[in-house]
Structure 1
Amino acid sequence: MDLATSISETSIALKLFLNNKFTEAKERMEPHSLKSMYPALGYGTILYLQAVMTFDMTDIETAIQTIKKSVAVCNRFRRKTTVMGSFRKTLTKVSYNDLSEEEIHAEICYAECLLLRALLTFIQDENLISFVKGGLKIRECYKIYKECNKILKSRKWTDEEHRLHFESGVRMGVGAFNLMISLLPGKIMKLLEFVGFSGNKQLGLSELENGCKMQSSLRGPLCSIVLVAYHTVVTYVLGLGDGDIELASEILKPCLTNYPKGALFLFFAGRIEEVKGNIDEAIYKFEESIDSQSEWRQFHHLCFWELMWCHCFKGDWLLAMKYAERLCRESRWSKATYTYQKAAFLTMCDDQSEHTTAHVTYLFSEVPNLKQRIAGKSLPFEKFAVAKTLRYAEQKERLTLPALELIYVWNGFNIIGQKMSLLDPMLTVIEQTINDLQNKKDEYIYFYDDYGLALLLKGVCLYHRGQLFQANQCFIELISYEKQIKQDLYLIPYAHVEMARICLKNEEFEETKSILEKTKKSYKGYHLESRLHFRIHAIRLQLNAREKQDTPPPSTPTGSFSGSFDAGGEDTVS
């Protein structure tokens, strides 16, 4: 299969995949996957997606073995360099025109396969050696993208279509790398310093946007998926919900035109409505995504997760519990999380009969038994859930606002805050709880933990209502109880960061920096610490952007990312 046919066949398979014909796409790639680079990449990618969605170790092992073969296939098409050749290369300027088009495309296919292999390494094994191996593969992958960037700007192209496919691949790789690494807070970056590079958020966004404009290229739709996922999902899970929703909507339009029944694009359409606070419209889109295909039920789990939160935001706790139950039954990701969510939602239901209470007690008691270890570590949220279930038993079958606490730690208030019709009922429940706590103070073993949580939630609601002074007073009062709080130690650093958000909104930049620095230095070892570090990092990025608004940087050449790899040193993507 020559290069043009290889790209054409893979493009057809990608369209089948995005139109929900997953098995047909897989079967189209498999016969050529041991002979041709693009089918090898395509087949490996499909098995990779299947593995990460099922989280089944058999699927993961199958994907790893397939991608190993894909790496070997792509490597066969790469330019072979001897030791003397490598030495001469360092002494003379490389002429990329000497490389054939097959050799050039082999480089970028090899990099993508290597990246998939590295990502699977992290979830397959539990030891440090596997982590180091994965990191080294990512480093090699990065260096290949750096070289491909030079090829793109230096080579004289004879086939415009081949150049387009190659360029979209470079833009996707450079963009995704920069964006992914720019999101990592300092604590995590220290673990990855041996990889040797950092990320530039604006460069990453720019390159992916340019890649999105190449919809006729093989990787154009994939650039769209990465960018829309960043703006609608990643910024809400890891940061402050500051994604560009209007841009995401514009990027998604041609995708929905080309793939009107594509389950993934319908999911993102639902997600856009959800983060706008249009919950009923979001529910409709998620249900449409589910109805669009039944071949890969793993896609349904993405929608079940979002439908669960949509019904939470509406205060429909019973329906939210039903979706958590379906996830617990069908998904392999974290049964401890799903079980805790089921119990937390049930505690919010109006029906608190003896039967319901007994079922809630049973669910909470099951959570510790379901805790798992991945890559040698327990999931942070599972540890949090286990601690809460132990509290439930110790406090005579009582937890304070566990469902609203879940919404907070999963950053849901950034969505609820878009619509007062969603936020005000939550605030009413919180204020009623605060009154009950004050009236029955002697009945609570961990009064200040429970009261502190209610204060934190009230402050967050007031923040989204624009009542910044009153919100700040809630956080100040919570922090004053620091020595009385026994278990929920996470409340204090989280309250500090909420205060930093208020300072940022009031353009008190120095105070914002001071609070963030104090929080990072003064508080360690609390639940959900990594989540807060992501939020701190997101606030710092916003702070840097706000400070630069009045002092624009020196003008630099625009139009492409061509100089970006060279500007930051040998191993810096910036």
Structure 2
Amino acid sequence: KHHKYSALTSFSDALDLASDQREIQHVCLYEIGWCSMIELNYGEAYRAFERLKTESRWSQCYYAYLTGACQGATGDLEGAIVAFKDVQRLFKRKNNQIELFSTKKAEKLRSPSLSKELCILSVIEILYLWKALPNCSTAKLKTMTQVLQGVDDASCEGLKNLLLGAINKCLHNTKDAIQYFHLAAKDEVGRLSNSYVQPYSCYELGCVLLNSPESAGKGRMLMLQAKEDYAGYDFENRLHVRIHSALTPPRAAVQP
């Protein structure tokens, strides 16, 4: 706890000190945004990402998406919809996975049925995809579980179960994690709206099963299925890298 708090303080101090060094300021803003998301401090996160959205040259489209998700998570849905409209306007790199993902998600969220819960779901999704959930405290993970269980939207059902599985995996509730990953892998409706949910769920289920000797064979099979049976979804090569490293036994240290 203390460690994370001091990281945030240090980045805030650095931000003040680097007033004439744009790049350093942006690194600090990015870290403040991420630390705040991990702490579920949506207001702080949205302010950091909003500055990056206007100042950064790296990917304004992605920062606009993060701004919208965090802003909506605070309950400011009107502001979030404005940010989600910006995502489309700032979409520049047609072959950039992160920008494509941000644009598709923003388009879906920009509807009158937008809710605070859906925005929080989107923040948790980002934390999951960027492998940041293991950095979240037990208390925050439990808060996420409560919010997700309240999301009632058929098009997000698979994603919701994938995220609940990932959170339970972090909390070492293996039985619950397995159940949620099973549900997510079976969800056909979600396949249309979140194409990566099924292959990622298959992979996650494989990971959990690989961990115990009696189910390792089934785990390997699921990993291979995740790799072979799906194509053309978001972050595909990223998943292939994860599958490869999960299936490659660690090599014994080679003597120099």
TM-score between both structures, scaled by the size of structure 1: 0.41
1:432 aligns with 2:118: no
CA, structure 1 residues 327+476, in 2 after alignment: closer, same or farther (shift >3 Å)?
same
CA, structure 1 residues 500+487, in 2 after alignment: closer, same or farther (shift >3 Å)?
same
2:163 is matched with which residue? 457
Q: CA deviation at 1:291?
A: 4.7
Q: CA deviation at 1:394?
A: 5.1
Residues 205-231 of structure 1 show CA distances to partners (whole Å, capped at 9, x for unaligned) of xxxxxxxxxxxxxxxxxxxxxxxxxxx
Q: 1: CA distance between counterparts of 2:207 and 2:95?
A: 30
Q: 2: CA distance between counterparts of 1:318 and 1:468?
A: 32
2:227 is matched with which residue? 520
Q: How many residues align?
A: 252
2:6 is matched with which residue? 281
1:142 is matched with which residue? none
Q: Quick one: which amino acid aligns to residue 367 of structure 1?
A: V
Largest Rg, 1 or 2:
1
CA, structure 1 residues 450+484, in 2 after alignment: closer, same or farther (shift >3 Å)?
closer
2:185 is matched with which residue? 479
Counterparts of 1:54-133 in structure 2, within 5 Å, are: none
Asked whether the 8 Å contact 1:321–1:341 carries over to 2, the reply is: yes
2:198 is matched with which residue? 492
Q: CA deviation at 1:414?
A: 2.2
Asked whether the 8 Å contact 1:372–1:378 carries over to 2, the reply is: no
Q: Give the superposed CA RMSD.
A: 2.4
2:138 is matched with which residue? 420
Q: 2: CA distance between counterparts of 1:512 and 1:405?
A: 24
2:243 is matched with which residue? 536
Give 2:44's match in structure 1, choosing from 319, 322, 325.
319
Residues 67-101 of structure 1 show CA distances to partners (whole Å, capped at 9, x for unaligned) of xxxxxxxxxxxxxxxxxxxxxxxxxxxxxxxxxxx
Give 1:364's match in structure 2, choosing from 68, 75, 84.
84
Asked whether the 8 Å contact 2:159–2:190 carries over to 1, the reply is: no
Residues 503-536 of structure 1 show CA distances to partners (whole Å, capped at 9, x for unaligned) of 2332444333222211111100112222222322
CA, structure 1 residues 515+397, in 2 after alignment: closer, same or farther (shift >3 Å)?
same
Q: Quick one: which amino acid aligns to residue 432 of structure 1?
A: G
Asked whether the 8 Å contact 1:405–1:457 carries over to 2, the reply is: yes
Q: 1: CA distance between counterparts of 2:2 and 2:169?
A: 17
Asked whether the 8 Å contact 2:157–2:187 carries over to 1, the reply is: no
Paired residue secondary structure (1:523): coil
Q: 2: CA distance between counterparts of 1:331 and 1:358?
A: 23
Q: CA deviation at 1:393?
A: 3.7
Q: Quick one: which amino acid aligns to residue 403 of structure 1?
A: V
Give 1:392's match in structure 2, choosing from 90, 109, 128.
109
Q: 1: CA distance between counterparts of 2:2 and 2:199?
A: 28
Q: Quick one: which amino acid aligns to residue 54 of structure 2?
A: R
- Fraction of identical pairs, as percent: 25
1:505 aligns with 2:211: yes
Q: Quick one: which amino acid aligns to residue 286 of structure 1?
A: F
Residues 436-458 of structure 1 show CA distances to partners (whole Å, capped at 9, x for unaligned) of x1xxxxxx5xx1x3111111111
Residues 344-389 of structure 1 show CA distances to partners (whole Å, capped at 9, x for unaligned) of 011211xx4xxx332222211121111112xxx5211111111112
Asked whether the 8 Å contact 1:277–1:415 carries over to 2, the reply is: no
Q: 2: CA distance between counterparts of 1:278 and 1:497?
A: 32
Q: CA deviation at 1:426?
A: 1.6
Q: CA deviation at 1:285?
A: 2.9
Paired residue secondary structure (1:486): helix
CA, structure 1 residues 380+285, in 2 after alignment: closer, same or farther (shift >3 Å)?
same
Asked whether the 8 Å contact 2:156–2:190 carries over to 1, the reply is: no
Residues 31-64 of structure 1 show CA distances to partners (whole Å, capped at 9, x for unaligned) of xxxxxxxxxxxxxxxxxxxxxxxxxxxxxxxxxx
1:336 aligns with 2:43: no
**Which runs of 5 or more residues in structure 1 are unaligned?**
1-275, 438-443, 561-574
Counterparts of 1:285-324 in structure 2, within 5 Å, are: 285-291=10-16, 293-324=18-49
Q: 2: CA distance between counterparts of 1:479 and 1:310?
A: 30
Paired residue secondary structure (1:325): helix
Residues 96-149 of structure 1 show CA distances to partners (whole Å, capped at 9, x for unaligned) of xxxxxxxxxxxxxxxxxxxxxxxxxxxxxxxxxxxxxxxxxxxxxxxxxxxxxx
Q: CA deviation at 1:483?
A: 5.5
- Larger mean CA deviation between 386-395 and 300-309 belongs to 386-395
2:174 is matched with which residue? 468
Q: 2: CA distance between counterparts of 1:511 and 1:517?
A: 10
Q: 1: CA distance between counterparts of 2:189 and 2:7?
A: 43
Residues 526-565 of structure 1 show CA distances to partners (whole Å, capped at 9, x for unaligned) of 1222222232233234xx02xx6xxx68xx6x4x4xxxxx
Q: 1: CA distance between counterparts of 2:56 and 2:88?
A: 18
TM-score between both structures, scaled by the size of structure 2: 0.88
Q: Quick one: which amino acid aligns to residue 515 of structure 1?
A: L
Q: 2: CA distance between counterparts of 1:308 and 1:403?
A: 11
Q: Quick one: which amino acid aligns to residue 420 of structure 1?
A: T
Q: CA deviation at 1:484?
A: 6.1
Q: CA deviation at 1:297?
A: 2.1
Q: Quick one: which amino acid aligns to residue 336 of structure 1?
A: C
Q: CA deviation at 1:424?
A: 1.7
CA, structure 1 residues 540+278, in 2 after alignment: closer, same or farther (shift >3 Å)?
farther
